Amino acid sequence: MAKFNLKLRQNRGRADGTVTAEGGPGFTREPRAELFLLAVSNMVGEDTFYEGAAGRDARFRDLVAAVAVADPDWFARFVPWLRAGAMLRSASVVAALEGARAQVAAGVPGSRAVVNAALQRADEPGEALAYWLGRHGRTLPKPVKRGVADAVGRLYHERSLLKYDSDSNAVRFGDVIDLTHPAAKDERQGDLFRHALDRRHKRDNPPPASLTVLAARAELMAMPVEQRREITDPAVLGAAGMTWEALAGWRQTTMDAAAWEAIIPTMGYLALLRNLRNFDRAGVSDAAAETVAATLSDPGAVARSRVLPMRFLSAYNAAPSLRWAYPLEKALQHALVNVPALDGRTLILIDTSGSMTSGFSKDGTLRCWDAATVFGLALAARAQDPTVVSFSNASRVFPTVAGESVLAVVRRFKDGGYFYGGGTETEKAVRTHYDRHDRVVILTDEQAYWHGSADVAAAVPARVPVFTWNLAGYRVGHSPTVGNRHTFGGLSDAAFAMIPLIEAGSRDHWPF
């Protein structure tokens, strides 16, 4: 999702040097808009094509500090949305902590609730404190300490302890409890806190009797290694809080079909999605595969998982078996439920220049042009009369086929040689292919090459809306956002729902 109708400060000429990374005329953004666009596309600590990790992260911290103090109400809505709406973990944690630091220094209240809202998984309190200790030292402001403690009360339980409290972490559950002193919500959680402290300080105390999941796990761990492969009852493994990662280590051997079939019933949606190739390699039965397929294609499960649509493309590319193709296609269609059906004629331009090879997912399985292609072709599939164009230095119309599945059309786009990998001649592509269309949608990193035009969208009549999705979050954009020119950040199915809202006359709304 993204804010539309961002207010930009246009560079009135080239004298002040505001240009894109490719030398095109640039337009800088109002701080909230710049922060929003950077946040929804920022994989903290990762390089992009034009911007190194250190500079990018410093720009993010500076923007957070400025906006958190200048507009604390907006910031208090933004960070929870960034975590729960945009599903960005690292960016939301850093934003909450750096915003809290700036607000404490300025005497602005409210950061405790923001810190709490940014932490939604049980390993995140430890990650937050590791970040703070590494960057700012051991002095914790009260709002940070209390916000983390609030999250601990929500997130710490037996299964989360087993899954996330690892010797490999610099900040363990016990460290978080020591540093923030959370209040236990009941006696059982108090027992858990004491046990976490015992684990951290290597005190040889048995787990309290109330912690039955820990007791079940201890019983399994005491079993001789040679007998462990015989345990294939999902109920036994589930009672011990066994995840697929823990099961693989506990067995001390490769995961065979029996092991996968024992753990599949307790695996989460994303874990199933990531392991399709492993299921095939192990040779899981058709019955087990049907169970996985039913979960993957269930619309309710898709909605609850909050998995971004690009993940289905990643799984489709990784899984060698055709038995996953149809469930993944159905899942992707469910994940794209908010893509609107656009009437009239729509020009969709997909940037396949070299800079779009930057990683879009942190694990490197998807690039920016993969994400742009998924959404561009999904939008085309729902449009009444689409024209899809791949552009770089050259450009070419991609032929669409009515009723073709999104995953199949993405594969056809790739196999047909539509990924160019050259420069970013956006204005040239717009001028070449615009032909009385009712709207223009551009999926790009905005780093347009200079060819003498005032801005990219000037190639389209002012009455025609131009929607730009920026997938990289760079500071300088290729066009001002005024009138019928709209810039978005990030990609999710809900983002495209903004198109009909804007065309219907809505203006200046954030998605939170």
Q: What's residue 14's pLDDT?
A: 38
How far is it, in rounded angstroms, from Cα 492 to Cα 206?
A: 47
pLDDT at 309: 78
Q: How far apart are CA 35 and CA 12, in angstroms?
A: 22
d(CA 160, CA 179): 19
Cβ neighbours of 14 (radius 10 Å): 12
Q: What token pair was written down for 71?
A: 């507009």
| CA–CA dist 364, 372 (Å, integer) | 15
What is the tens place of the pLDDT at every residue in 487-511? 776 565 556 666 775 666 544 467 7
DSSP 465: -
Judged on CB neighbours under 10 Å (0-12, 13-18, 19+), 179 is buried
Q: Which residues contact 405 (CB under 8 A, 6 or more apart)?
A: 329
Asked if pLDDT for residue 1 goes beyond 50, the answer is: no
Q: Find all residues with CB under 8 Å of 187, minimum gap 6, and list them.
A: 210
Task: Render pLDDT for 277-315 as a digit per residue (tens, 0 to 9).
Answer: 999 999 999 999 999 999 999 999 998 887 877 788 888
- Tell me, what's the pLDDT at 485? 78
Ramachandran angles phi, psi of 33, nearest 5°: -65, -40
Least confident among 21-30, 224-233, 384-393, 430-439: 21-30
Tens of pLDDT, residues 16-52: 445 444 444 445 567 887 787 677 655 444 443 334 5
Q: What local confidence, expressed as pLDDT, does residue 473 receive? A: 47
SS3 content of the chain, % helix, strand, coil (to 5): 50, 10, 40
Q: How far is CA 264 from CA 1, 158, 213, 234, 329, in A?
A: 32, 20, 19, 8, 21
pLDDT class for 446, splitting at 50, 70, 90?
A: low
From CA 435, how far away is CA 397, in angstroms rounded? Answer: 13
Question: What per-residue confidence (pLDDT) applies to 502?
Answer: 63
Q: What is the pLDDT of residue 422?
A: 86
Q: What is the mean pLDDT of residues 158-184?
A: 95
Q: What percent of the chain has pLDDT over 90?
A: 54
Domain spans in the chain, listed from the N-terminal domain onward: 223-306
Burial of 392 (0-12, 13-18, 19+ CB in 10 A): buried
State the first-to-last Cα distance of the chain, in angstroms, to the nearest integer. 10
**Of the given ranges (72-81, 293-302, 320-329), which has the lowest mean pLDDT?**
320-329
Name beta bridge partners: 470: 444, 489
Phi first, then psi: give them for residue 384, nearest 5 degrees.
Answer: -65, -45
CA-based angle 370:371:372, to the nearest 5? 90
Supply φ then ψ for residue 420, to 5 degrees: -90, -55
Task: Report the C-alpha dihedral over residues 9, 12, 15, 19, rounded to 10 degrees.
Answer: 50
pLDDT band at 115 (very low <50, low <70, confident <90, very high): very high
At residue 478, the pLDDT reads: 47
Tokens 């292919």 correspond to what residue?
433
- Please tell me the predicted confidence (pLDDT) of residue 267: 95
User: Among the residues of 85-241, which ranges form H helices?
Assistant: 89-106, 111-118, 124-136, 142-155, 158-164, 173-180, 187-200, 212-221, 225-228, 234-239
Q: What is the pLDDT of residue 317?
A: 83
Place of tokens 């932490």: 119
Residue 4 has what pLDDT?
22
- Strand 395-398: give its sheet, edge to edge: 395-398, 385-391, 345-351, 439-444, 466-470, 485-489
For residues 230-242, average pLDDT = 95
Is 0.85 surpassed by the pTM of this model?
Answer: no
Q: Based on the number of CB atoms within 10 Å of its own CB, is 236 exposed (0-12), middle (13-18) or buried (19 or more)?
A: middle
CA angle centred on 495, ends 493 and 496, rounded to 5°:
80
Mean pLDDT of the chain: 84
